[in-house]
Amino acid sequence: MSPIENISAPVADYLDYYRQKMGEYLAEETHLISAVTQHIFSSTGKMIRPITLFLSASALGSNDKNMVEPAIALELIHTATLMHDDVIDQSNFRRGIETVNYQWSNLVAVLMGDYFFAKALKILVNTKQQGLLEAVSTATERVSIGELAQVQELNNTSLTEQEYMAIISDKTASLFSCAGQCGGIVAGTNGENLKSLYEYGENLGIAFQITDDLLDYIGEEEKLGKGTGNDLKEGWFTLPLLYSLNNCSTSVGKEIKEILNNGFREEQFDRILLFVNETGGIEYSRKRAETFRNRALDALEGIEASIFKDALISLTDFTVTREK
């Protein structure tokens, strides 16, 4: 079993039901929608958001299969954002398979993303739980704010760590915190435990994104299912580089900024990688990811001991040690 399969073992039945219901929700649509959805979900990814939701609800004693609906909604929203990202980045591969925009077109990718957003909201409305609808709609708004903020800061070598953290909190951590929050809502809690699970997800999501940004520098292409240096090609400068630019000599900083300002080219990646390694950007980013991992663990202190809490703890370790 893979590490994520071991972690999710306590909620394996919910994951099986999730896959079944996902297929049902996306069945009997047009030929194009069916073809695209089958292509996308032929490689399902790690499903960390649904797993977080199932473990959170179960840790509070819930065994309600209705937890599957908000998990499906969150994954559809997440998938929609990935398709839109691929259009913006002009990506050809994700998770080792061709992107929708590459196999079909940008138009199909954008419209399929819109379809997934609409389908997610319809699923949530049908749950007749206002709390779930409010939580997911708020998270979706945060995702959009984060995406727009990132676009605004492209090619900005003066981006501060605080600004970067605010962007990834909205862009990525919002759906993680929502997963924890929805788990609490399904379990029927509205007190301290709900806040704890929200904070767990928020910090888990930030640790996840910092690790993702690290892997864009030091990951192995075969394991990632995509190439490295994608953020640099897009003009999105993440924590390893931002730290290094603020902790280097003036002459070296000027050289690196000239490379970035004149349009980064793939053959310059090794020079940038050497720079962030030598100036501590890689190590600093690892430590920051571990800091948020530890904050996620702290948020779980008030949750009663169980195999589900143990799995949530293991999930935090997986988040910062994964290779893809």
Q: Which of 16-20, 43-47, 221-225, 267-271 has the lowest mean pLDDT?
A: 221-225
pTM of the model: 0.92
What pLDDT was estimated at residue 314? Answer: 96
Write down all domains in the chain, each with its CATH number in brackets: 3-318 (1.10.600.10)
Q: Reply yes or no on whether the pLDDT at 44 is more than 90.
A: no
What pLDDT was estimated at residue 28? Answer: 66
What pLDDT was estimated at residue 224? Answer: 46
Sequence-distant (≥ 6) Cβ neighbours of residue 183 within 8 angstroms: 52, 53, 54, 55, 56, 57, 58, 59, 60, 62, 67, 197
Q: Give the whole-number percent of the chain exceeding pLDDT 90.
A: 66
**pLDDT tens by residue, 88-99:** 766 777 667 777
Residue with tokens 């990202």: 85
Sequence-distant (≥ 6) Cβ neighbours of residue 7 within 8 angstroms: 51, 311, 314, 315, 318
One-letter identity of residue 45 = G
**pLDDT tens by residue, 170-213:** 999 999 999 999 999 999 887 899 999 999 999 999 999 999 99
